[in-house]
Amino acid sequence: MSLVKKFMTVGGATLGSRIFGFARETAMAAALGTGPMADVFYAAFRFPNLFRRLFAEGAFNAAFVPLFSKEIEEHGLDGAKRFSEEVFGVLFTVLLLITIVMELSMPLLVRFIIAPGFADDGDKFSLTVRLAAVMFPYLMCMSLTAMLSGMLNSLHHFFAAAVAPIFLNVVMIAALFYGLYTGAAPIDTAWYLSWSVLVAGLLQLLVVYLGVRHAGIRLGFRWPKITHNVKRLLILAIPAAITGGVTQINLVIGQAIASSKDGAIAALQYADRIYQLPLGVVGVAVGVVLLPELARALKSGHAQEASNIQNRSIEFVLFLTLPAAVGLWVLSDDIIRVLYERGAFSAHNTAIVAAILAWYGVGLPFFVMIKALQPGFYAREDTKSPMRFTGISVVVNSALSIALFPILEERGIAIAEAVAGIINTVLLFSLLLKRGHLQPDWPLIWRALRLLVSALAMGAVLVALSGYFAPYLQPGAGFVGKTLALFAQIGVAMLVYFALAFATGGADLGMLRRNLKRKAKTNG
């Protein structure tokens, strides 16, 4: 299977999840707007989501996959199964202890980390503590899901792991519709949503477990024991866990600062959901597929193949994220108006969320590029360098958020996150270049420049045509008319960008096929 096809498999499943995510957020906006209950739910949900990224996705996509791939290369499926059972026993025990400690500490965590701004409002504070306590076991489900997903990715079974997140959105949508159908009060809807998160975590774990069994591995439980392989995993996983959660760390920092203003947390969440579509579809696909591919090439001693894989992956990222970034900047108001502006979500809310989205758009190519560059370290079992750069970006984000929020409010937090992402990308790229692990070839350089010019030209066309579409997108216009106008602009943007990209040589499907097509290695 070609690398592009693998990207498309994971990206397609992720796109499905993001579409359901949009449906969920649209229903949430209509039911709760940017009111107190939206603030409370998103604040409570952010914490287990942060730990999911720290202990699950970051740690296991970075540390577990190369070691699991190595076990397959050296000892076959039996050795990989034994290693997985050793890790599962330790992981399950650690997660159980963390969950117990966090549940007991939840009031302190909400007061000092999750939402310090809620401390003066007894009702919001109390409800946030209780909702977070219900949702925190989601961490345990998702961390085990991440381990099983890493196994599937290493075995070149990408679909089950990619489709599992859809269940979170489906179950939450069901909870929302139940609340709307029964006319539930906002506080009751928040409770339904919290319990739905936990149910979804159990379903996701079941899906990937069945996927692993289908792939030919039946895991048994072993009592926790720190073997040599487990010790090596922990050494790699701790810095990788911190690094993998950088975006969530920055979001939590922004949330803590924003909690002092009513509605700010929900506004950031609504904008975050939009830019998570391209970030998820492209970034997750590249990160999930690239790491096992690089690890396999390097373990086989094919350094040139690894370099080619990394270059073509960067091309793929730029090809899709540069136009997305320009489009989000130019069309942010129209996107938010069409997707969210109804019910409790007012035109004033649209202006605030659109401004946040525009700045998230600026950072988008860099957020995704991080996911394309980090595997260059992880595949070589270096998880400390990305962690150091993550630390720098967190410091930058914190300082800028604190400095800009009093002046620019929510926009200041979005700007801080974008700048932190840019700095992180530059540091990762520079070190890979210095070590010789990244060797940009001329096709990559020239295509990157041409893609940038094509994206900027697309943006200029959208700005020039904005006056024509404006009457159809006014706050009082009908939903169908607004939707058609938005899709018409997106259609024009796609036509202009792809025409220019292919005409200038920024994109060449024939060359991509020749460079990326490789047969998947048979394991056994």
Average pLDDT on 470-493 reads: 84
In 3D space, the residue among 187, 50, 51, 201 whose CA is nearest the CA of residue 124 turns out to be 187
**Residue 239 confidence class, pLDDT cut points 50, 70, 90:** confident
| The pLDDT of residue 160 | 76
What tokens were used for 121? 């409002």
Q: What is the pLDDT of residues 384-394, one digit of tens each?
A: 888 888 889 88
Q: Which amino acid is at 218?
A: R
**Residue 330 confidence class, pLDDT cut points 50, 70, 90:** very high
- Structural domain of 493: 3-516
CB 46 within 8 A of CB 268: no
CA–CA gap between residue 388 and residue 365 (Å, rounded): 21
CB 268 within 8 A of CB 258: yes
Question: Is 164 or 133 the better-scoring residue by pLDDT?
Answer: 133
**Residue 197 confidence class, pLDDT cut points 50, 70, 90:** very high
Name the least confident of 87-101, 264-278, 325-339.
264-278
pLDDT at 509 over 70: no
Q: What is the pLDDT of residues 81-127, one digit of tens each?
A: 888 888 889 889 988 998 999 899 999 988 887 778 787 788 888 99
In a domain, 473, yes or no: yes
| The pLDDT of residue 9 | 56
Question: Is 22 or 417 the better-scoring residue by pLDDT?
Answer: 417
CA distances from 337 to 25, 142, 492 (A): 13, 33, 19
For the CA atoms of 157, 163, 165, 166, what is the dihedral angle to 10 degrees? -170
CA–CA gap between residue 230 and residue 101 (Å, rounded): 23
% the chain with pLDDT above 90: 21
| The pLDDT of residue 523 | 37
- Rounded to two decimals, the pTM is 0.67
**Residue 518 confidence class, pLDDT cut points 50, 70, 90:** very low
In 3D space, the residue among 394, 150, 411, 404 whose CA is nearest the CA of residue 268 turns out to be 411
| The pLDDT of residue 31 | 66
- Please give the tally of structural domains in the chain: 1
| The pLDDT of residue 117 | 77
**Residue 521 confidence class, pLDDT cut points 50, 70, 90:** very low
CA–CA gap between residue 118 and residue 121 (Å, rounded): 5
| The pLDDT of residue 249 | 67
| The pLDDT of residue 290 | 66
CA–CA gap between residue 86 and residue 70 (Å, rounded): 15
CA–CA gap between residue 459 and residue 329 (Å, rounded): 9
| The pLDDT of residue 524 | 36
In a domain, 521, yes or no: no
Question: Is 205 or 27 the better-scoring residue by pLDDT?
Answer: 205
CA distances from 396 to 87, 278, 338 (A): 35, 24, 34
Average pLDDT on 324-344 reads: 86
In 3D space, the residue among 214, 293, 280, 285 whose CA is nearest the CA of residue 1 turns out to be 293
**Residue 51 confidence class, pLDDT cut points 50, 70, 90:** low
pLDDT at 291 over 50: yes
Question: Is 331 or 28 the better-scoring residue by pLDDT?
Answer: 331
The DSSP secondary-structure symbol of 40 reads H
- For the chain, the first-to-last Cα distance in angstroms comes to 17
In a domain, 522, yes or no: no
Average pLDDT on 205-225 reads: 86
Strands, DSSP E only, in 243-291? none
**Residue 467 confidence class, pLDDT cut points 50, 70, 90:** confident
Pick the most confident of 203-207, 294-298, 366-370.
Answer: 203-207
Question: Is 358 or 317 the better-scoring residue by pLDDT?
Answer: 358
Q: What is the pLDDT of residues 144-176, one digit of tens each?
A: 888 888 888 778 776 777 788 788 888 998 998
pLDDT at 515 over 50: no
Question: Is 442 or 288 the better-scoring residue by pLDDT?
Answer: 442
**Residue 33 confidence class, pLDDT cut points 50, 70, 90:** low
In a domain, 524, yes or no: no
- For all residues of the chain together, what is the average pLDDT? 80
Average pLDDT on 16-20 reads: 67
Question: Is 98 or 239 the better-scoring residue by pLDDT?
Answer: 98
Question: Is 512 or 290 the better-scoring residue by pLDDT?
Answer: 290
% the chain with pLDDT above 70: 82
CA–CA gap between residue 461 and residue 459 (Å, rounded): 5
Name the least confident of 90-104, 337-351, 491-505.
337-351
Residues in the chain: 524
**Residue 218 confidence class, pLDDT cut points 50, 70, 90:** confident
CB-count burial class (<10 Å; 0-12, 13-18, 19+) for 331? buried
> Other CB atoms closer than 10 Å to residue 485's CB: what's the count?
21
In a domain, 523, yes or no: no
> Other CB atoms closer than 10 Å to residue 521's CB: what's the count?
12
